[in-house]
Every structure is written in structure tokens, then in C-alpha cells.
Structure 1
């Protein structure tokens, strides 16, 4: 709850006390300092004042709609303070203090304003109460000092040194020392103010009253001794002041000797305090640093707290916690640590209650603090009324986590079903066991069924409660209500079988027969429905497989040719020369295999994209004639292989993030399982980004080195076809041209071949009846070649497959 810095200059605020006189809190306004200001300036000031009045009305409407807006409260108070709306200002401050603790600075402003408006101590008691409220909110040494000065100046009993006034003032100083006297860096201010007050009292004692004078001197001496035993900054200067004071009282001591005239017990306590102060000096220096960030200061406080806890002094730990929550009042971790420490160590109920009250007012959205507060009250044997009040305050607070909110604000759309079930089950159990109201417990489940009746777990939780409480008939009636409902997955079958099991354990034979009579038709209905769904899914899968069968079967065979070893070629009997370098050969490099694989992968991707739009078998067959349509013609695409099966598109995006220019990432997945195949394509916007992406090759991703190459579908397609011819026929079995027997048609001049496409025997997708059996002869080869001279159409090929 960071304090909003006001845009108000305090020195320009004037207060009208209502008697025609004005009291200024600082220098006068611009108009007072410049009485010869022009009329235009007056008009401008009037316009500004009207604008601020309009702003006040806007802030008031905002607070009416949302009184828990801290920033609006601060802005509203500062604006009223600048415009000197005294009554509204008091009401605004009181209203804000009902919802939030005011910061120390805001308390100082409030008390000073009231003191300024009541110079004649007309409202001394009310202002004194304000100071009391302020010093109880946070640890603030300046506010304690202001409070002490106010009482000294405005309380008649104190100013007249009456016995009641002396006792009141000393009690106030002792409270200040308890609250802030152990503050290492600022606590000495209160000690010095206390000593100065007692020294002033000493001057008022009658010179002839030696006994009273000695008694007062002993009070001052005791204060010095107490202060010298507390680890405070400037402790050495305090020792010097003590020796000087003793000298003024006639007790001579050696100025050059540090401990001359100082009692031994005081010296021992002083040395121990000085050692403790030195151990804390580094922490105080860190906290006083002006360049340290808030996060660093918070960490410094946490380290400081650990140091004090190691010394084992609860009061000193409490002081550091108080300083920390003053600096960071909305840090829930600090309040949780502070309150838990108090629960473990301190048994002062009033003090612990006050800390918990401040914690919940500063962090009302933290449910854990509210829970700990109520548990702490229960340990202190607090009354039912007090516990009820705290509980009502807790449920009115707005929590940050959905699991901490009241059940009326919960819904299945915003939290998990497990959280909802756990909350309602606990609520219903409280109603049934502690509240002894079974109707209310059932009402909890009935309300949840209205909201989430389609969830099987809700009905099961309701049934479980009735069974646990021994209400068998009520559980049976719930089964009758829900067995015919449709739940997700196998939930409908599960509830039916659960009812049968319930009747076997708790019901009679008639109850079991009745349940079976109702459940059996329902189970049969569910079975038929499931068979229909499976049949529909199977038909869709078959249709999809038929559409992609010709090409997909070719892809699987083509991949196999790269993995299987090439069979040895038979010895040629005709003595024909071996195929020349023009004959296609199987590539042995990994790049060739990679390109063939990527060509087939792209082919499959295209088929899935076109087949999903209802293309018929004829369109699939026609697309076979124009294979270029089955491949991506990407000019700026990288092909990625050797991917880890755990890698996804996000991982690849991180790899190429610094390269830039990535337009799309396509991870190849298995058609049936959906799992990654370890291959992917990455599209780039231009050649420059593609070149940068190719440099990522051999880079490790999830423990595997990536293989990245430029995607070239055309080359991959060509090599794939050449490999098929080479492995399908073996060496020397090239298609013979009828015009030039014994000579490969590829050796003919282009003019003689014309537009003739070289006929290649594709055996990897041919029926088994067309594949060469063992004992194949050249005579049979010539006969088959002549029969195969005319290629079959798609329809003929399909009929032939169906017959087989």
C-alpha cells in the first residue's frame, strides 16, 4: 500500500478557524505575498478552484462506488486539505481510517492540522486520542516525539509540574521507550527527550530540598545507565554526555579516561551494547542507503530479522518487524512471518490481537492471515462474538485467489472442479456435523447440482455424503435421479455399475433387482450408441485411407528402398556392358536420403490437406499425373532432421529466434498417433534469413544435434524416382526401345525420342501378381514388356486391385 505523493504544497495551506481569522501552516498564499496581483490572476485562480471542486465531486462519487480504493482516498484527502474544507477533511480521514491504516506521514499531517486549528487547547482530548491512534498503527519515532512535545506544551497538569502531570509524562515516556526506544538508528531521540525532561524537572526542585534533589538526580543517572546498555547509534557520545553530567553534579572524573567514574556494571553493559551495535551497523547502513531499491531494502530487513532471531531476544525481533512493516505495509510475507513469530514466542494477547488487526487491514486479500488470526483468537479463548466479528470481516474482503473466496463467488469456469468439490464437501460436512443441519448440508449439494449437474463427480460426492452418514434410502434416491443422465467419457456406464455395487452392499435382493431392471436397458442403450460412434469413426477412417492409398503406399515403399540393402545384381549372359554413369544410382549420402524423405513428407502433407476437403478417388488419381502439385514449391524453406521427439514448434521458434524472418514452422507428426517424427520445415521470409537459419545446423536442441539443410523438393523427387528404377529392376534391366533393340532408350538422340516419356517399371506399388517371380526368363520378360507397352488407367488399376 504505497503512499501516494500528493500534489499539494503544505506551505500554501491556510485554515479558517471560523472566527474570521486564518491560521497558516507555512508561508502565505501567492496572493498574500503579492497583493498587487492583477484581476486576470484572480480569474485564473477562480477557474482553478472550480476545477478542483469538480474534481472533489468526482472523487466522492468514486468512493461511494468503491470505498476500498486506497489511492482515491489519499487524493481526496490531499485535495480537501489544500482547499481547506475542514469538516469534510475530518470526515474523509475518519472514513479512510475505517478501511486502511493511515501512513505515519498522514498521521503527522492530521495531528499537526488539528493542533494548528486548536491553538487554545480547545480539543486537547480529541487530539491526544488522535496521537494515541497514530502511534498504535506503525512504529514512527517522529510521531512519538510530536506526541511528547504536544503533551508537554498543551497539558496544563504537565506544564505546571503537578504530581499527576509528572506521573502522566513519565508514563508516556516509558511507553515511548517500549515502543521505539530500541530503534537502533532513531531510538536515541526518545532517550534524550526523556533525559532533558527529567533534567528540567531537576531545575524546578527547591535547592533546600536535598532529598528530593538527590532523588531526581538518581532518576537522571538511571536513565543514562539504561541508555548505555541499549545498542544505539552514537552510543559513545552518550557516554561522554553522562560523564559531563556527573561532573556537573560534583562527581569528578578523568576526561581522558573513557570509563573513569563509570560504575563497573555500567561499563560491562556498555561494552556489550557497543558490540551488538557494531554487529548491526552494516544493516543500518544498508537500510539508510538512498540508492537502494525497495526490493533490496526488503531483503535487507529479512536479513536483519534473521540476525535478531539468532540472538533470541523477542523484543528486538519485534522492533525490526515493526520497522519493516512500516516501510512495506502491504508485504504479506512480512505480516505472515511477523504474526507466526508472535504466535510462537509472545503470549501477550492484546498485543498479538493488535498486530493481527493491522495485518488484515493492510493485506485484507490474503486469506491465510485471516485464518491465522481466527486460530490465534481461538487459542486465546476469545468469545464467540469476537470470533464471529472477525469472520464477518474476512468474508467481506476480496481475496486474490479464487480458492480463497466465499463460495457464492465461485464457478466451474474459473477454478478447477477439484477445488469446487473439495470446498462444497467441506461446507456440507460443516453443516451436517457442526451445525447439525442435514437439510442445509443437502442444500449445498443441490445448489452445486444446479450449476454443475453434468459432472459425474458432483453426484458421486453427494452420494458419498449420504452413505457416510448412513442415509441409505437418500443415497438410493440420488442414484435414481442420475443413472439416466449423460456424462463425459465412461461416466454414464460408471454410475450404472456404481448403483449395482451399492445395492449389493447396502440393499436387499429386491432393491438389487429393481436397480438391475432400470440399469440394464440403459447400459444396452449406451453400448449401441458406442457401437454406432465406433462404426462412424471407422467408416471415416476407411474413406480417408482410400483417398490417400495410391500415394501413401508409394511413400511407404519408397522409404523402404532407402533402408533395405540393395540385392546383388545377376550376372548378365549377353555380355552387355554395365550401365554407364547415366544410369541412376542409389544415393549413399545422408543428404540424398534426407531430401527423399522430405519430398515424401511434403507429399503426405499435401494429400492430407487436399483429401480433407472431400476430393473423390478420380481427383486423387488425376493428381497423380501432375506430381508437381503434391509438393511445396518453397524457395526459402529449411528442412530440419534429427529432432528430439520431445521437441515442439516452440522449441524450434527459440532456435531461430535470433535469425529472424520465420514465417511458419511445420512439425511432421505421425498420421495416427500424432507424435513427432523428428522432422520439420521452417519457412523464412527471404534468402537472407534462410541463410542465417542454415548456420544453426549442428546446434544442440534437447540433447540432439540438429541437421538443417535447404529444402529442395524437386531434387528430392528426382532422386527418389531414380532410386526406385535402380532398385526395382536391378542392373542392366532398362526399358528397351522397339526401334533399337539392345540399346537403352535413354541413349537415343532427343530428336528420335521426341516427346516420348521413358517408360520405367515401377514395382514398389504394383500388385504381387505383376512382380517378377523366381525363375524369371527373358522370353517372359519380352512378353510382359509387350503387354505393358500400353499403361493402364487408374480405373483399370483399381479394378485389378479389387479382384486381387
Structure 2
């Protein structure tokens, strides 16, 4: 009964002293005076409106959290609203759900513990609240939370309050944990030291004065606490030293008031104190920068990083750990901080519960960083954790969203590595595993990553690793080949995939299987020089492993393929050369054009200078040559210039005609009735069963760039051409093709006859048809038609229009009705003799 009365008094006292939420306060209600009735009615109405509004907000937040349980801000608002309403049942559920997803701030843990202490009392409530404090101090470093924790234990734990040996031991263990966690905190750590000393001094007062030995032992314990605190760089070290001297005086050591006496009696304490003061002064500038309130978050984080580098250079792991804890408490979602922190622990401690706890907290604060999950899995493996725990962490990591696919791949590979090590060293594992776990992990990784990483080296590395483990660790060569076959479906255009498959078969001595793979892939098209490399690799393989018949067969298959590749490479090189020449000529034309523009710009000035020169005029003030001789000289100079231009143009034509012809049409199929949408790839696929295609040329209109429905397809030899002609009248893109052998000589004769009949030069049409063919390879798309130059446009404008399609009339064709042998008229003949000044004057007077 006495204990129950004691607990009732304690609960009553706690109810009076505990901070009560505003919504939980009891209103006056019926105890109010009669004059205040109207005010109480209005207050009740406002309270009812506020309560209805709160319920509506609660429903809204519950709906949001149901749709998105990872909404941190919604959880914070939800908890605050329930706490204001005083709904303790829903409040507990909300806090539990939130703490399962996110680490809570120290303030949230303090409020949670205070609310539980307010609503619960008695001996059963103390363990529940202590568990809340334990969970709180494990999330972040917080000196106020540690102080609340130790104060709660001292006030509410009966064994501690009664100073029983078990209670004293429990309290000391709790204080030592607090000092280990936050005792090195430069600005707040002294609070825990002072609380620890006050607790020990309170115990000293309970010891009987007659028990001298026990009192002396306890005095030594308190003195040791002072010495430990004085050796740490904390704020107010001078006040701590003064308190220590005062305490020593109380114990009867008055001579310690002088610092010189302290040096003589406790030289190690004095030396440690001076060293701590020096350390504090060195770090004071860093503490000042990280504690400034007017800085942005980025600047404060940068100051933390500089401070951490300094502490790491001092090589004191304990101080580095405490500073990291302070940094992550201020910046909990900084991935760089957690990466640096875990790297520091893996380098200094490597194993232990502390390292595992930090990795767990890192993944809770930054679950979107795949590297943190990888380090967590490796940490669990170093700590010899059970397979159940490691598997649970791996499954939880896959539920997170990462920014890159490489992070997912790294996670899968880390999991496979751990399983492989456990199976390889099964004697050291706690529980035996089956190879099926590795196979399932590989299959999950392939199913998830293959649609996104086709034809990439990362995915190929995954399948190579998988196939090797199937063959060596799983002892299943058939399963290994199945992995390679599935990999070829995804990465079949990569030479490395085929070569890896072949290397595995050679490694296991399966020569015939390797040969069959070479036969499947030697004709495939690989990027770069991969096609030549696979052919040469097959020849080397047959020289090293095969018979003479196998080598002859490989040479027979590979030689045409190599010739085809060499021809294609030569064509590509010729294209590049022509492109370079065209660029050079274009640059020269642009340079000449710029020079002409400069001349045109200067010509008005020249004309102005010439206009200022004195000129000979006749009586009518008309400027003209003095006599016929000058006029004849002008005409002679013009005719010479025209002849020089003709010679220059003829030289250009001769130079152009000296270029070698790339397409001779000796082994070419002429195709007509093509769909306008037909491309080179369509024609190559159409003749895939025939083979031997070296080039495809689709004819396009020179001005519009549209397909003319005609094409030339070159083949290696007549045998392939004959097979291609057999596909005449076959359908392609909904049109029946007409395929015939190309006969360039016949085309030139026909075009020559047509040109003679129409007044054109012989062979002109056949050559223009060949020039209209624009060859476009698969690697290089067809260029759009080249725009006409300004000079060409001016030339077209000078040609009179005569009927239809006169814009395509060649420049060399003379206008109809003109002949070089046509006799000149009389007027033209008269113009040959220049007129005199008198004749010009008379002619003008007549007009």
C-alpha cells in the first residue's frame, strides 16, 4: 500500500509538472461565473468548428498517406495534428508507422516520450518509455535527448532512485554510454559530464561517514571523472578546473587552489589540461563557422567538410566519429556525408555493431543511393550475419528507386558475390546454401536489366559471370550454354558476346561446338573491324585445333567475306576522300566568292575615281572612243577574254573526265517500279537470300531529292547476279519489281541516238542518268540535293522559256533556230565597220 501511495503521489506530481498539450488542457466550463456564459458559448462554438476542421484534415492526410506512404511531410503534419487533438491511440500508430519508414528527429522522440509519460504511469510504463529513448538515441546524436534519458532513469527507475547496487551500476553504464556517444561534443558534451559528476556526488552523500574506505574509493571515482573531463577540449574548461579545485578544497586539499601545486601533485592532469586547451583553441574557428546562423545550408555543409578533413588529419578516430555524427544530425539526407562516414568506418573499424548500425542508418536516411546498400551488404557479410538478415536487406534495397541502372546491377552482383563466397567456403558459413539462390538472383537481374541494357558491356559482363558460375560452381555445362544463347539474343551484335561463348567452349575442350559457333557468326556484321576480326579468329582457330579439311573449309567460307569487306572498306574510303575534295573545292569557291565580293565593293570607288579623270568628248558632250582603232582594240580584248574562259572551262571538263569511274555496271542489276519509300536497307534485305551485294544505288531527282523508283544493285560475281535476276516480278513494299541486267553500253547508244535527234551531244543522257544515282550506304545516310549556286540561277534566268521543262535544258545546247553557219544580216554586216563622229551625229539628228 505504501508503494502504491508513493506511485500515486509521483504520478500526481508528474501530472502537475509535465508540459500538457494545449488541446489536452481542461477548460473551466460549468465552473465559470454567470456573467461569462455568452463568452463560453462562443468559445464552445469555435472549438466545435476547430474540431470539425481538424477531423477533416485528418481524413485528408490519411488518404494521402494511404496513396503514398513515403510522404514524409504528410506524416509530420499528421502527427502534429493528432497530438493537438489528443488522440493518443492514432498518435501511437502514426508514430510507429513513421518510425518504421523514416528516422525521427530528436525533438520528435522527446515529444513521444513526454506524451507516453503523461498518459501512462506506474512501474509498467518505465520500460516502455526507456525503449523509446533507446530508439531515439540510435537515430541521431543529440545531447539533450541523452540528458532527458538519464534524468528519466534517475527519477523513475526504483533501483536507481533507491541507490541500490544494481541501480547504481545500471545508471553508471548508461552514463558511460552517453559519454562515449556525446562526451567529445565540444559545445554540449560538458552537460553530460556535469550530470555524471552530480550523480556520483549524490551517491557520496548516501555513504556513511564511518565507512572511510568506501567514501575514499568514491572520492577517487569523482576525482577521476574530473581528470577525464579536464583532458577533453570542451567549452568552459576554466570553469571546470575551478569547480575541480573547489571540490578538492571541500575534500580537505586546500593547497590545490594554486595551479603550481596542481602541476606538482597531478602533473599528468595539468599536462592533459593544457593540451586540451590548445586543442580547443585550434578547433574554435571551425566551431564558430559551423554554428553561424546566417549561413546557407550549402555553406554550413562545406564548413563541416573542411572541419572533418582537419579532424581526419589529426588521426583521432573517436573525435572523427563524433564530428560525423554531428554533421549527419544537421544534414541527415546528405549522401556525400554518409558515404564519407561509412568509408571512414570501413577503413578504421571495419567490423562491429557500431559499423553495422551506421550502415543501417545511412540506408534509412538516403535509401535512393545504391552504393550505401552495397556497403551495407558487405558490412553484414564481414560481421558474419545470417543469410536471413542479408536476404532481407537485399530485398529491401530492391524496393528503392535508384537514379541509374548501374546501381541496380551493382546490387545484384554484390548479392551474387556474397552467395558465391558462402557456397565456396561452406565450412565457415552458419547455414548451408544451394546454388539455386545464385541462379535465381542472376535470372532476376537479367529479366530486369535486359530490356534497358541491350548490346552493352555491362549486361554482357553479367551474363559472362553467370555462365562461368553455371559451368564451374553449378557443374552444369548445358545451363551455361543456355545462358550464352540467351545472351546472344540480347547482345548478338557485339563481337565480345560471340568470342566469349567460343572461349568458354575452347576452355572446356569442346572444339566441335566452338567451330559451329564460328560458322554461325563469321558472316555477321559487327561494328568497327569486328567482322574482319571474327574471320581471322576462325582461321587461327582451325590452324591451332582443326584438321586440314577444316582449315580448307574455313578458308573457302571466309575468303569471299573478307573480299566483300575489303571492297566495302575501299568504297567507304573513296567516299571520305571525295568528301574531303568537295570540302576543299567548296572552300576555294567560297574564298573566290569572297574575293569577288570585295572587288564588287571596291568597284564603285574605282568608278568614282575614273569619273573624275578628264575624258575626250565630241561636240554633243558624248563620251566615246576617239576613232575606230580604239573600238577595235576593245573588241579584240573582249574576244581574247572569251577565248581564255572557254579554254579554262574545257580544262575543267577534261580534269573532271579524268576521275576514275567507281561503278562500271559490269555485274549490276537494274531495278524499276520501286516504291518511293524504299531504302537501301529494304533492297539489301530483299537480296539477303541471294547474297553477294556490294553496293545499292537508288536514283533520286536532282532537284527535289525524291526517289525516281529506279535503282542499281551491284553484285560480287555473275552467279549472285543470276540468282538476283531470278527474283524478277517479286513483291517489295506492295509493288512488283522489274529486275534486269544493267547494260551500260546499250544505254549509252540509246542516249546518244536520242541526243542526236534532239540536238544534244551524244552520250549526254546516259551520263546524266548515272550522275543522278546517289549511292547511300547503311552507315552513311543519303545527303539532300545540293542547292544551286547563284551563278547557275542567273544562267537559268537568261535562257528564254520554250515549252515545258526548259529549266532542265543543258547549257551546251544552243537555242532552237540558231546555227553557226547561218548568214549574217546586212545590219550585222554594217555593224562590223565603225561609224565616224559625223555619221553618229546625223543618225541622232534624224531620230
Per the TM superposition, whether the score is higher than 0.5 is yes
Alignment match of 1:107 (pick from 84, 97, 109): 109
The answer to whether the 8 A contact 1:412-1:452 is kept is: no
* Structure 1 residues 199 and 510: alpha-carbon distance in aligned structure 2, compared to 1, 3 A threshold: same
Structure 1 residues 246-255 or 32-41, which shifts more? Answer: 32-41
Alignment match of 2:347 (pick from 335, 344, 348): 344
Distance 1:345 1:553 in 2: 68
The answer to whether the 8 A contact 2:262-2:270 is kept is: no
Please name the residue that 1:742 is paired with: 629
Please name the residue that 2:333 is paired with: 330
Distance 2:810 2:274 in 1: 110
Please name the residue that 2:545 is paired with: 506
Distance 2:139 2:543 in 1: 65
The answer to whether the 8 A contact 2:625-2:631 is kept is: no
The answer to whether the 8 A contact 1:231-1:273 is kept is: yes
The answer to whether the 8 A contact 1:202-1:216 is kept is: yes
* Structure 1 residues 531 and 412: alpha-carbon distance in aligned structure 2, compared to 1, 3 A threshold: farther
Distance 1:558 1:226 in 2: 85
- 2:521 matches 1:482: yes
Q: Deviations over 1:310-341 (max 9, x none)?
A: 33322122211222222222333333332333
In the TM superposition, residue 141 of structure 1 has moved relative to its aligned partner by 0.8
Give secondary structure in 2 for the equivalent of 1:399: coil
Structural mapping, 1:381-400, within 5 Å? 387-400=390-403
* Structure 1 residues 216 and 504: alpha-carbon distance in aligned structure 2, compared to 1, 3 A threshold: same
Q: Deviations over 1:727-766 (max 9, x none)?
A: xxxxxxxxx9999633359999xxxxxxxxx999456652
Distance 1:30 1:107 in 2: 22
Structural mapping, 1:493-532, within 5 Å? 494-516=533-555
Structural RMSD (CA): 4.7
In the TM superposition, residue 158 of structure 1 has moved relative to its aligned partner by 1.1
Alignment match of 1:798 (pick from 812, 818, 827): 812
Give secondary structure in 2 for the equivalent of 1:185: coil
The answer to whether the 8 A contact 2:505-2:511 is kept is: yes
The answer to whether the 8 A contact 1:243-1:253 is kept is: no
Structural mapping, 1:640-789, within 5 Å? 715=601, 741-743=628-630, 761-762=641-642, 765-767=645-647
Alignment match of 1:366 (pick from 360, 365, 369): 369
Question: Which segments of 5 or more consecutive residues in structure 1 lack a partner in the other structure?
Answer: 1-20, 561-592, 600-711, 723-735, 749-757, 772-790
* Structure 1 residues 39 and 354: alpha-carbon distance in aligned structure 2, compared to 1, 3 A threshold: closer
* Structure 1 residues 405 and 770: alpha-carbon distance in aligned structure 2, compared to 1, 3 A threshold: closer
Q: Deviations over 1:610-638 (max 9, x none)?
A: xxxxxxxxxxxxxxxxxxxxxxxxxxxxx
In the TM superposition, residue 238 of structure 1 has moved relative to its aligned partner by 0.8
Structural mapping, 1:538-687, within 5 Å? 594=594, 596=596, 599=597
Q: Deviations over 1:565-615 (max 9, x none)?
A: xxxxxxxxxxxxxxxxxxxxxxxxxxxx8453xx5xxxxxxxxxxxxxxxx
* Structure 1 residues 517 and 161: alpha-carbon distance in aligned structure 2, compared to 1, 3 A threshold: same
The answer to whether the 8 A contact 2:24-2:86 is kept is: no
The answer to whether the 8 A contact 1:367-1:404 is kept is: yes
In the TM superposition, residue 299 of structure 1 has moved relative to its aligned partner by 2.5
* Structure 1 residues 763 and 519: alpha-carbon distance in aligned structure 2, compared to 1, 3 A threshold: same
Give secondary structure in 1 for the equivalent of 2:254: coil
In the TM superposition, residue 522 of structure 1 has moved relative to its aligned partner by 6.0
Distance 2:587 2:377 in 1: 71
Please name the residue that 2:415 is paired with: none
Q: Deviations over 1:72-122 (max 9, x none)?
A: 544444444444443443334333433443333332233233222223353
Alignment match of 2:119 (pick from 114, 117, 120): 117
Please name the residue that 1:56 is paired with: 61
Please name the residue that 1:698 is paired with: none
The answer to whether the 8 A contact 1:737-1:743 is kept is: no
Please name the residue that 1:221 is paired with: 223
Give secondary structure in 1 for the equivalent of 2:630: strand
The answer to whether the 8 A contact 1:557-1:765 is kept is: no
Please name the residue that 1:585 is paired with: none
Distance 1:557 1:373 in 2: 67
The answer to whether the 8 A contact 1:403-1:415 is kept is: no
Distance 1:401 1:553 in 2: 47
Please name the residue that 2:192 is paired with: 190
Q: Deviations over 1:348-406 (max 9, x none)?
A: 52222222222233333333334444444555555555554544444444333322213
Structural mapping, 1:143-158, within 5 Å? 143-158=145-160
The answer to whether the 8 A contact 1:554-1:765 is kept is: no
Please name the residue that 1:266 is paired with: 269
Please name the residue that 1:27 is paired with: 22
Alignment match of 1:296 (pick from 271, 294, 299): 299
Give secondary structure in 1 for the equivalent of 2:628: strand
TM-score in terms of structure 1 length: 0.62
The answer to whether the 8 A contact 2:23-2:84 is kept is: no
Please name the residue that 1:448 is paired with: 487
The answer to whether the 8 A contact 1:339-1:356 is kept is: yes
- Structure with the higher fraction of residues in helix conformation: 2
The answer to whether the 8 A contact 1:158-1:165 is kept is: yes
TM-score in terms of structure 2 length: 0.59
The answer to whether the 8 A contact 2:289-2:300 is kept is: yes
Alignment match of 1:282 (pick from 265, 282, 285): 285
Please name the residue that 1:45 is paired with: 50
Number of residue pairs the alignment of both structures matches = 583
* Structure 1 residues 412 and 97: alpha-carbon distance in aligned structure 2, compared to 1, 3 A threshold: same
In the TM superposition, residue 167 of structure 1 has moved relative to its aligned partner by 1.0
